[in-house]
Amino acid sequence: MKFSIFVLALFAVSATAVPHTKVKRAAVNQGALDLIAHLEGFRANFYTDSVGDTAIGYGHDCEANQDCSSIHAPITEAQGKELLAQDIRTFETCVCDMDNAADLNANEYGALVSFAYNSGCGGVDTYWSTAMSEKNFEGICEALPHTNTLNGELDSRRAQEGAFCSKPSNATSGC
Ligand SMILES: *[C@@H]1O[C@H](CO)[C@@H](O)[C@H](O)[C@H]1NC(C)=O
């Protein structure tokens, strides 16, 4: 499930207010891409998503991207993952833009990008900017299962994000 229109609007406002100077972005690792894909679920054909938009693959939004006339359904899971990798770029950028993001390990980073894809860039800021400025990455992983769960509706998603976040990795985010 994608972030709400409300959060998107918040992000759009802050995105225009903040000057875009050299914001880095790093691609998430394969484990994180697979996690997000698994959480979104795959549809080979066009369908109507929870906000009434036409979508395909792992939640690729046709209205937002205006590119579905060039997509020939049914698509394969590999094609779906390519679209997903493009769709999460905005969220890789906003997580990389947070304080100390370069010090996240690759799994902590991937979990936060998954959270951002679901809760919006405004959501990541709201819930995690304090912990990021304190470099409390362990605290983020521990709190993830209980954060912005929509009264339990997203418990399973958050539990999986929290578990991925806590999985040791010697690789850094790349931010
Ligand atoms: C990280 O590096 C240490 C030391 O080289 C190694 O023992 C450990 O297995 C590595 N952990 C992971 C998750 O790769």
Task: Look at ligand 1, atom 6, and give the residue with the nearest C-alpha.
Answer: 170
65 lines ligand 1 (CB under 6 A): no
CA distances from 130 to 18, 63, 124, 127, 137 (A): 19, 34, 10, 8, 11
Enumerate the domain spans of the chain. Answer: 26-166
Distance from residue 63's CA to the centre of ligand 1 (Å)? 44
CA 58 to chain centre: 12
For residue range 83-105, list pLDDT tens digits in order. 999 999 999 999 999 999 999 99
What is the average per-residue pLDDT within 149-159?
Answer: 95
pLDDT band at 13 (very low <50, low <70, confident <90, very high): very low
In the chain, the largest separation of any two C-alpha atoms, in whole Å, equals 46
Distance from residue 169's CA to the centre of ligand 1 (Å)? 7
Three-state DSSP at 2 gives: coil
Distance from residue 170's CA to the centre of ligand 1 (Å)? 6
pLDDT of residue 9: 44
Task: Examine the pLDDT at 131 and tell me if it is beyond 50.
Answer: yes
pLDDT of residue 22: 64
What is the average per-residue pLDDT within 151-156?
Answer: 95
Please tell me the CATH code under which domain 26-166 is placed: 1.10.530.40
- DSSP-assigned letters across all residues of 120-149: HHHHHHHHHHHHHHTT-HHHHHHHGGGSS-
169 lines ligand 1 (CB under 6 A): yes
Closest by CA to 40, choosing from 11, 81, 68, is: 81
Q: Which atom of ligand 1 is nearest to the CA of 168?
A: 13
For residue range 21-49, list pLDDT tens digits in order. 567 899 999 999 999 999 999 999 999 99
**Inter-residue contact 99 to 42 (CB < 8 Å):** no
Beta-carbon contacts of residue 39 (< 8 Å; ≥ 6 apart): 114, 118, 157, 160, 161
pLDDT of residue 11: 45
For residue range 47-63, list pLDDT tens digits in order. 999 889 999 999 999 99
CA distance linking residue 135 with residue 148, whole number of Å = 20
Q: 48: which strand partners?
A: 54
Task: Look at ligand 1, atom 8, and give the residue with the nearest C-alpha.
Answer: 170
Task: Examine the pLDDT at 6 and tell me if it is beyond 60.
Answer: no
Distance from residue 171's CA to the centre of ligand 1 (Å)? 10
DSSP state, 38?
H
pLDDT of residue 23: 73
Distance from residue 33's CA to the centre of ligand 1 (Å)? 22
